[in-house]
Structure 1
Amino acid sequence: MENATAWRIANRFASLAPHQRREFLQKMQEQGVSFGQLPIPATAPADAPCELSYAQQRQWFLWQLDPEGAAYHIPAALRLRGTLNVAALQQSFDALLERHHSLRTGFTEDDGQVRQQLHAPALRLTQHDLREQPAPERMACALRLVEQDIAQPFDLQHGPLLRVSLMQLDHDDHVLVLTLHHIVADGWSMGVLIEEFSQLYAAHAQGRRAELPVLPIQYADYALWQRRWMEAGEQARQLTYWQAQLGDEHPVMAL
């Protein structure tokens, strides 16, 4: 499928009413056109609440069951050697929050309906100076702080859902800790964030602007695309498939 045609079909689908989407998807299937090959259009409003993806909906449900739990916290720790520019560090994370909307998203529930809402970029870098500790004990102290940071609960309603802590072990030795909730990130995206952070920090530390490619969509765009697709009949198709595969009898497995 040509790129221009794929974009035209994707935008046409996104503009239809719910009952029209079902008919549209059915015609695509009859013509052998896979909806999964279409691009994801940028349709989520930045200034208004929008729907969650199904993965986010699961995370919201699990958080309500155990709001103090840390099972769905995603941590990453970096050992930074050499002279550290703390101002450039803060600028780099400010840029990441501006670039990736999911990092500054909050979640609200009104009359049983959960929505995600974009907030203004705001991240406070928490700093711990461990140089007063005896040198042999500094790393053990840093590890304890890392564990405490990871275990600290997130408030999915008010946020923030990204925490950044900086621990100074010596004048040229630091530990940087990022902790996110799984409702706004996953293991794969952590790699993206760290790579982009490295580029942003290198640029800000040298007093220049980092040239990162513009993001064509945000996660909220994907969430809307996924829901429109599922509600148009894909969810029913997949459910029928798995019901046929699994059958009606589900004996207890002998593990």
Structure 2
Amino acid sequence: MAIQDDTTDPTSAGTTRQATLARVWADVLGVNRVGLDDDFFVLGGDSIMAIRAIVEAETRGVSVNLADLFERPTIRQLAPDADEAPHAVETPRSTQPVTQDLVSPDDAAKLPPTVERAYPATHLQQGLIFEAMLHDESLYHDVISRRITLPFDEGAMRRALEALSDRHEALRTSINVTDYSMALQLVGRSAVPPLRTTEARGRDAAEFLRADVAYASEPFELEHAPLLRVAVTVLSEHSFQLTYGFHHAIMDGWSENVFITELMSRYAAFRLGTRPAPADPLPDMVRFIERECEAVESPASREYWLARAADVPAVAEPTARSTDRHRLSVPIPPDMRERITAFGADTRVPTKSILLAAHLAARHAQYGGALPVTGLVSNGRLEEAGGDRMIGLFLNILPLAVPVVGDTVQFVRQVLQAERDAFWHRRFPYAEMTRLSGRPLVDTTFNYVHFRMERQLRSSGWLQGGSLEIYDKISFPLVVDAVQDPDSDELRLDFSADTAVWAPDQLRTIAALHSEMLERICRRQSSEPIPDAR
């Protein structure tokens, strides 16, 4: 792999430091060449891949900060200085003990002997639990069901679940919000997820699968780990349905991909009587809690979000709420995907930011030209070796309000800059923002989803295509997910709306506005303004 520069021979361009970064980026992103002015995110990178690139660069002697990578996403911007040979560094040690002073001595003294360790619940965990207690205990209880094309071995599955529980603290964690001076996460010494099995070979499996979903959907007692349960219905000698329910407070979407990938790799090994491949060590979860505490105490982050909150118009509280959802999925046609890619290459704007700009423009048009606001779902995983393999809840909601001014290219770049500005303060909890401002700041969220780890599972042949079923309940009135298929260029927009707030025809109108704004942006006519209203 050679670093590429438009003005010089690609085999001789760049300093040693730049060439090292180019090799790292090429390896992480799976591309053949990386130019000095190629944007990491336009090439297909995201926050998870950025963590991998930073860790790998560190092992090769080049230090890069994650926030710097978001602010200066080309090699020329990141490493503009004179040549600097990579220095030898130790691989980041993720298993060093962490000095734990986040739990008071009085609380520590009250911990039962079954608890291995404890640390504070995050603001987002507390928020999810509060919303469920206030509205419906089924909120933020996710159920996933997948068709697995392997013979079922109950002993191997139990061993795989036990191995995963030993590796990931989140799978042994309960959350207590009443018995201590603060809400605490309590990590049990042992808490293997329960497994229920059903035999349905030669019978109509539909009734059994409905029973599995009902079992996985049963409410959890948050004070008792694990907050995960598993059901299997054996369909034939060569396939079974794997259904599992978990509380969102212990597992976000990327973590679910980690869970199913590691579970099935261990299951496959145990079923064949072999030992799973050794797993790399994971960072300590306490470090994530410490980063959030530091953000809450940061004057710069507090002032930044107070200023952003002052710009955000008031959010109208719905007069009625429901946990039922209208859902609509809109595939983005191939020709539009090509135009998004071309627009991104021309303007050096990542696909995620183009889709976010279309979302904000749609909200601008929907509300008659008002300042568009959304809650951007942000990842706050640790920038350490293994940070991308942790199971837990590492998300935050970042309110973004971007005035729709100028032409389409200017607007899209303003959206990208707003993302970059917010990224420096991404760990400041949304719950703390709302507390400081005295009101909710968003009623809609936007999330760009690209679970590349799913590719590993699909390539194994174990996962039957089209068999994934997801059942979830969330509290935001409107949720928009831009979903990138991990195996192809396929892209779609998924809309989920509270049935008490939005009618089906209104959701269809919202979806149509998103398609229209995406079409306008990707016409590549920079002089064309975003419309004020439909």
Structure-2-length-normalised TM-score: 0.37
Secondary structure of residue in 1 paired with 2:276: coil
Candidates 169, 192, 217, aligned match of 1:101? 169
Instruction: Name the counterpart of 2:269.
Output: 203
Secondary structure of residue in 2 paired with 1:75: strand
Shift in Å, 1:168 = 2.1
Distance change >3 Å, CA 231–CA 193, structure 1 → 2: same
Query: Unaligned stretches of 5+ in structure 2?
Result: 1-53, 64-91, 101-114, 317-366, 369-505, 507-534
Matched ranges for 1:44-59 at <5 A: 47-59=116-128
Instruction: Name the counterpart of 2:314.
Output: 250
Following the alignment from structure 1 to structure 2, what is the Cα–Cα distance between the partners of residues 157 and 52?
12
Question: Which of 1 and 2 has higher RCO (CA within 8 Å, sep 6+)?
Answer: 1
Secondary structure of residue in 1 paired with 2:198: strand
The one-letter code sitting in structure 2 at the alignment partner of 1:198 is: M
The one-letter code sitting in structure 1 at the alignment partner of 2:153 is: N
Candidates 298, 317, 321, aligned match of 1:232? 298
Instruction: Indicate if the aligned counterparts of 1:40 and 1:221 stay in contact, CA closer than 8 A.
Output: no
Instruction: Name the counterpart of 2:159.
Output: 91
Instruction: Indicate if the aligned counterparts of 1:53 and 1:222 stay in contact, CA closer than 8 A.
Output: no
Matched ranges for 1:139-218 at <5 A: 139-218=205-284
Following the alignment from structure 1 to structure 2, what is the Cα–Cα distance between the partners of residues 85 and 227?
44
Following the alignment from structure 2 to structure 1, what is the Cα–Cα distance between the partners of residues 184 and 290?
11
Instruction: Name the counterpart of 1:19.
Output: none
Instruction: Indicate if the aligned counterparts of 1:53 and 1:223 stay in contact, CA closer than 8 A.
Output: yes
The one-letter code sitting in structure 2 at the alignment partner of 1:85 is: D
Candidates 189, 193, 201, aligned match of 1:120? 189
Cα deviation 1:91-123 (Å, max 9, x = unaligned):
111111111111110111335511111012332
Matched, 1:77 2:141: no
Distance change >3 Å, CA 203–CA 251, structure 1 → 2: closer
Instruction: Indicate if the aligned counterparts of 2:161 and 2:263 stay in contact, CA closer than 8 A.
Output: yes
Distance change >3 Å, CA 156–CA 82, structure 1 → 2: same
Instruction: Indicate if the aligned counterparts of 2:152 and 2:234 stay in contact, CA closer than 8 A.
Output: no
Instruction: Indicate if the aligned counterparts of 1:73 and 1:150 stay in contact, CA closer than 8 A.
Output: no
Moved segments of 4+, more than 4 Å: 1-6, 39-42, 251-255
Instruction: Name the counterpart of 2:199.
Output: 129
Candidates 219, 222, 225, aligned match of 2:288? 222
The one-letter code sitting in structure 2 at the alignment partner of 1:72 is: Y
Instruction: Indicate if the aligned counterparts of 2:198 and 2:234 stay in contact, CA closer than 8 A.
Output: yes
Following the alignment from structure 1 to structure 2, what is the Cα–Cα distance between the partners of residues 188 and 51?
22
Instruction: Indicate if the aligned counterparts of 2:148 and 2:240 stay in contact, CA closer than 8 A.
Output: yes
Following the alignment from structure 1 to structure 2, what is the Cα–Cα distance between the partners of residues 199 and 153?
29
Distance change >3 Å, CA 5–CA 118, structure 1 → 2: farther
The one-letter code sitting in structure 2 at the alignment partner of 1:206 is: L
Following the alignment from structure 1 to structure 2, what is the Cα–Cα distance between the partners of residues 227 and 234?
14
Following the alignment from structure 1 to structure 2, what is the Cα–Cα distance between the partners of residues 108 and 129?
36
Following the alignment from structure 1 to structure 2, what is the Cα–Cα distance between the partners of residues 58 and 158?
19
Percent sequence identity over aligned pairs: 24
Larger radius of gyration: 2
Cα deviation 1:106-160 (Å, max 9, x = unaligned):
11133551111101233221112234xx72xx22112311331243111111132
Instruction: Name the counterpart of 1:29.
Output: none
Cα deviation 1:62-113 (Å, max 9, x = unaligned):
23324x6323122222223342221111111111111111111011133551
- The number of aligned residues is 217
Following the alignment from structure 2 to structure 1, what is the Cα–Cα distance between the partners of residues 281 and 230?
23
Distance change >3 Å, CA 122–CA 215, structure 1 → 2: same
Cα deviation 1:208-227 (Å, max 9, x = unaligned):
22124323314443123212
The one-letter code sitting in structure 1 at the alignment partner of 2:261 is: E
Following the alignment from structure 1 to structure 2, what is the Cα–Cα distance between the partners of residues 212 and 75?
29
Distance change >3 Å, CA 181–CA 150, structure 1 → 2: same
The one-letter code sitting in structure 2 at the alignment partner of 1:78 is: R
Following the alignment from structure 2 to structure 1, what is the Cα–Cα distance between the partners of residues 280 and 291?
20
Instruction: Indicate if the aligned counterparts of 1:101 and 1:218 stay in contact, CA closer than 8 A.
Output: no
Following the alignment from structure 1 to structure 2, what is the Cα–Cα distance between the partners of residues 147 and 178?
8
Shift in Å, 1:235 = 4.3
Following the alignment from structure 1 to structure 2, what is the Cα–Cα distance between the partners of residues 97 and 44?
23
Larger helix proportion, structure 1 or 2?
1
